[in-house]
Amino acid sequence: MLIKVKNLSKKFGKIDILRDINVEFESGKIYGLIGRNGSGKSVFLKILCGFYKPTIGEVLYDDNNIVKNGSFPPSTRALIEKPSFLPDLSGFDNLKLLASIQNKITEKEIEDTMKRVNIYEERNKKYSKYSLGTKQKLAIAQVLMENPDVMFFDEPLNGIENDTAEKIRKIIKEEKSKGKLIIVASHIKDDIEGLADEVYEFDNGYLKIKNEKSK
């Protein structure tokens, strides 16, 4: 998979959120996006998912122009901003409901994913009773469970205890080793350093390369 972002800008009213972004993301790499809260990270990810349309510019998944076609990108899952699920359903039932849309995975695969992110023991608890960290882990589980080719994580370690945070970093690296294209956004540099192959920083709406690991 190759994602190409061409001449992309986004305005809300007269306010420039993103300015003339040109960047490419390819499979088998982890990309880090850093910037203060409100710098445009989440807006950028929403455009990559087709949730927002750019004011100008293109987003191509291989040859599929999702801006022109108005389509959700193929084999893509995302955690963007605060996770939200049905409060009266259990964590497991929320994931099962989402999985029923495409019927690609079994209940066992859902349970295995919950084990992977350390929430299996809370699978039958109502979502409304979950802590902030558990809600975050459930959102990470919904990104992982159907084995997508492209994964976006916006502030994935928010509210998660240190031991599980390290496990999540390990999981993200494991997904990279399977050839996935992964973008992780955070306002905390420590969440990105040591994880991403390439790091970009949002500065006044522009996206600038910050560092790139030697190949």
Q: Where are the beta strands (DSSP E) in the chain?
A: 2-12, 15-26, 29-34, 56-61, 64-65, 76-79, 150-154, 181-186, 198-203, 206-212
pLDDT digit string, tens, across residues 138-167? 999 999 999 999 999 999 988 888 888 899
Of 185, 205, 204, 197, the C-alpha closest to 57 is 205
Looking at per-residue confidence, does 214 or 7 come out higher? 7
pLDDT digit string, tens, across residues 64-82? 999 998 888 989 999 998 8
Cross-strand bridge partners of residue 60: 4, 65
pLDDT digit string, tens, across residues 18-33? 999 999 999 999 999 9
Q: For the CA atoms of the chain, what is the radius of gyration?
A: 17
**Range with lowest mean pLDDT among 13-27, 106-120, 141-155, 180-194:** 180-194
Instruction: State yes or no: pLDDT of 212 exceeds 70.
Output: no
Query: What kind of fold does domain 1-75+179-215 have according to CATH?
Result: Rossmann fold (3.40.50)
How confident is residue 213, by pLDDT bands cut at 50, 70 and 90? low
Instruction: State yes or no: pLDDT of 215 exceeds 50.
Output: no
Quote the percentage of the chain above a pLDDT of 90: 79
pLDDT score at 161: 85
Instruction: State yes or no: pLDDT of 193 exceeds 90.
Output: no
| 132-144 vs 162-177: helix crossing angle, rounded to 10 | 10
